[in-house]
Amino acid sequence: MQSANDCTCKNSPADAGQREALMKDLRAKKQPEQKEIGISETLATKLALDSLDDYKATTFQWPTCRRHLSDIQEFPFLIFNDLDRDLFRGVLRSNVYMRWSESHSRDNHGATSAPGVKDTRVTITLSRDIAHNPLMLIAALIHHMTHAYFLVCCGLRKEKKDVDKHTLSHGLGYSTLLRRIMEVFKPKGLRKLPNLFTCMLNTYRFYHSAQMKTGSSNNPRTGHICCFFEPDDILSPEVCRVHLKSLQEMGPFEQKKDKDGKSQPVDPYPKSHYLHNANADKSSFTPVLRTQHSLPKADFVELHYSKYAVPVPLSKLKNLPSLLAKFSKASVLQVAGCKDPTFFALYSYILKRDYAPELPVTSSPYASSSKPNGPPIISSYLPDSPAYLVIDIRVFILASKTGFDELKTKALERMYSMSVTQNDPIAILEEIYGNTGIKDEEDKNKLRVWAREFLSKTRENSDITNLLLLQQHEQWKSRFEALRKKNGVFSADCDTVVENLVLKKALASIGDGKGNGKSKGAKDDKKQKDGAEKGGAVSDLLASLQGLYKSDAAASDPKSATAAAASASGLSAVELLMLKQRYPSVLEIYEKEKEAEKKSKEKGKDKDKDKDKDKDKCKDKDDSSNKPTCQHCHPHSATTCSNHDSYYRVPLQYYDNIPYPTTSHIPFNPSAASYYSYPYTVSREYPPGL
């Protein structure tokens, strides 16, 4: 049997437990005061009007349970949150305290009070005289909820200077919004509502005057106003229509002013009430009310970028552990310090694991391959060419600052996938060496390593590097030198690239046999690279060019010595001097290493001689001894048998008085034939007939 306290109403999409919690919150007194949103009345009007453009008529269902049928005063609490969601963007939830009036008043349908007047929150007081008429009750509730909406969004105007706040009157913003609600709010299953301004049915009139009373209790400055059935401050439909049209045509508009008195643009779709669906292909954001978003709040997280709150389905974060970890404690991630294309690249990567401009997969010089061959060489500059590298560098920087490791790896992979670039090379370097905001030193170094490799990149079958092109080409050299003067880190990296290129050139020349010696580093490309970085191969190189630094000829005629060394190494005198300046003590180290190596070899030779002497002594001792040494063959033999030694002694047998060696050894027997020393080369053929 159903209890009178059980609720089976189905007019709300929320379950019964949640609905009861919302109704309980409406009745709760002395709840913590909620701070006003702080937008102007004009902006609040526009936001509400925009939300009504997407309004879809719903089916209105009357209460069906015994509890709400038996007590009509429960009805406004039951439908309050539905009206808030559909008409007022959901901003009234938890911000309003609602009650019934304690006394009867036949000249008004209720009152609205600002926070701190009747309660800590905005207070709606409904007249008991309309409790018997559900249609009038709905109209009065919407009327006062509209007042509450402006109080929550804008606050109460207490002084003349508070022009952005609500006056609790039926002014331009209020009247325009209420008339628009009257046009669109026509739920199915509900008869025509009374006029939302008067809240009266045409067939019903009250006894008292329709004029609005005056007095302190109705003065908006007190934060409390009673709304009568026939107020005298309603604006005409024509005035409201003009205001509605102007607001619909309005984009971002000016509201607040800075210290210099200049107006600042204000977003009409604030993140507090709107989500912004991002379209990476069109580089656009589409605002949608939070209450009308397609996904439940538990199924998405938000990227807050600039003035936008971009929803991202949790399902898209699968296999992105570094980003998912950012949302472990909060559902919002701040994305700052980037421009729109960079943000859309991040958003696009989350959705499809790549971002624009995508690298071509054709035979284009920009084509990406499975085997990276970048950094690219600089080709002829095309202003309209997609800024692949600039975007990649910006994406890498953003990924580093947000801790998005997967995106960081993707950006670096793309940077190493291009073989040719037609982008502005100075713009590329400015992105790397500018104020990136990267805190991770390892990530900073990755960009610098790429930049050094980019500067040292050479064309096929040519010695022209990107660095040389930037230094000499009229199109780039002035900006290149300006960047070097401006940025010390970039200048130092350029010096490092030049020095390594000189060293590589010298090593290659010596490795081809043009120098005075061969470098170990020239035998292996990897060793050359390691030597260029660590100076290991420099020892051999400079040692082969000692005539430049050490010889008597160099001391007496340095110019000739320099020319000879340059000819031997393939380097200019300036390049040789650069190597000497970079590695001033390398010759001393080299000589010490060579001396130590020489001593080590001599010491090893001495040890080998001692071993040979010991062997000779042992051999002489064996040959001079007549003591038997082979117990296997015969205890009286002086050496071993053929199984143990190439020269051995064998017993002889006589045939016709001619001695022949036996074909095998015999066991020891004192009466046996004597043993004689006989070489292994003695013929083992038996006499004929045997």
| Residue carrying structure tokens 């949608």 | 288
The whole-number pLDDT of residue 66 equals: 59
Using the 3D structure, point to which of 527, 553, 584 is the last residue of a domain.
Answer: 584
Provide φ and ψ at 143, rounded to 5°.
-55, -50
Task: Count the alpha carbons within 13 Å of 303 in the hemisphere toward its beta carbon.
Answer: 23
* Within a domain: 490: no
User: Which token pair is 106?
Assistant: 């036949």
CA angle 616, 621, 625 (to 5 degrees): 150
Share of the chain above pLDDT 90, in %: 24
* Within a domain: 5: no
**pLDDT band at 561, cuts 50/70/90?**
low
Q: What is the pLDDT of residues 129-153, one digit of tens each?
A: 887 888 888 888 999 999 999 999 8
Ramachandran region, residue 390 (left: φ > 0; alpha: ψ -120 to 50; beta: rest):
alpha
The whole-number pLDDT of residue 272 equals: 74
Residue 470 reports pLDDT greater than 90: yes
Same domain, 538 and 665: no
Beta bridge partners, 287, equal: 276
The whole-number pLDDT of residue 680 equals: 39
Greater pLDDT, 356 or 33 = 356
* Within a domain: 21: yes
Same domain, 45 and 100: yes
Question: Longest Cα pair distance anywhere in the chain, in angstroms?
Answer: 170
Q: Report how far residue 20's alpha carbon sits from residue 292's, in angstroms, rounded to the nearest whole number.
A: 22
Same domain, 554 and 453: no
Q: Is residue 172 within 8 Å of residue 235, measured between CB atoms?
A: yes
CA angle 576, 582, 583 (to 5 degrees): 90
Same domain, 550 and 662: no
Q: What is the pTM of this model?
A: 0.54
Strand 263-266 and strand 253-257: the pairing is antiparallel
The whole-number pLDDT of residue 612 equals: 65
The whole-number pLDDT of residue 265 equals: 56
| Residue carrying structure tokens 């937008």 | 39
Greater pLDDT, 616 or 603 = 603
Give the residue-averaged pLDDT of 174-189: 86
Total domains, the chain: 5
The total of other beta-carbon atoms located within 10 Å of residue 68's CB is 19
Question: End-to-end CA distance of the chain, in Å?
Answer: 129
Using the 3D structure, point to which of 574, 603, 623 is the last residue of a domain.
Answer: 623
Same domain, 322 and 386: yes
Q: Is 293 exposed, middle or buried (0-12, 13-18, 19+ CB in 10 A)?
A: middle
**pLDDT band at 657, cuts 50/70/90?**
low
Give the H or E element holding residue 648.
Answer: strand 648-655
The whole-number pLDDT of residue 353 equals: 94
Q: Structural domain of residue 631, as residue ranges?
A: 625-690
Residue 55 reports pLDDT greater than 80: no
* Within a domain: 183: yes
Strand 420-421 and strand 108-113: the pairing is unpaired
Q: Which of 76-90, 622-636, 643-657 has the weakest average pLDDT?
A: 622-636
Question: Hey, is 359 helix, strand or coil?
Answer: coil
Residue 536 reports pLDDT greater than 80: no
> How many residues in total does the chain contain?
690
* Within a domain: 362: yes
Residue 489 reports pLDDT greater than 90: yes
Same domain, 537 and 654: no
* Within a domain: 485: no
Q: Report how far residue 437's alpha carbon sits from residue 610's, in angstroms, rounded to the nearest whole number.
A: 68
Residue 547 reports pLDDT greater than 80: no
Rank 19-33, 121-135, 407-421, 587-601 by mean pLDDT and report only the highest: 407-421
Q: Report how far residue 510's alpha carbon sits from residue 521's, in angstroms, rounded to the nearest whole number.
A: 10
**pLDDT band at 544, cuts 50/70/90?**
low
Q: Is residue 507 within 8 Å of residue 522, measured between CB atoms?
A: yes
**pLDDT band at 216, cuts 50/70/90?**
very low
Same domain, 576 and 670: no
Same domain, 569 and 603: no
Q: Is residue 549 within 8 Å of residue 581, measured between CB atoms?
A: no
Q: Report how far residue 345's alpha carbon sits from residue 340's, in angstroms, rounded to the nearest whole number.
A: 9
Same domain, 32 and 150: yes
Same domain, 580 and 598: no
* Within a domain: 479: no
Q: Report how far residue 686's alpha carbon sits from residue 221's, in angstroms, rounded to the nearest whole number.
A: 144
The mean of the pLDDT values for the chain is 73
The whole-number pLDDT of residue 669 equals: 47
User: Which token pair is 210?
Assistant: 């329709």
Greater pLDDT, 210 or 372 = 372
* Within a domain: 67: yes
Using the 3D structure, point to which of 465, 488, 519 is the last residue of a domain.
Answer: 465
Same domain, 41 and 105: yes
Question: Hey, is 327 helix, strand or coil?
Answer: coil
User: Which token pair is 520?
Assistant: 């170990």
Give the relative orientation of helices 477-486 and 425-433 as an angle to the nearest 10 degrees. 10
Same domain, 437 and 292: yes
Residue type present at position 26: L
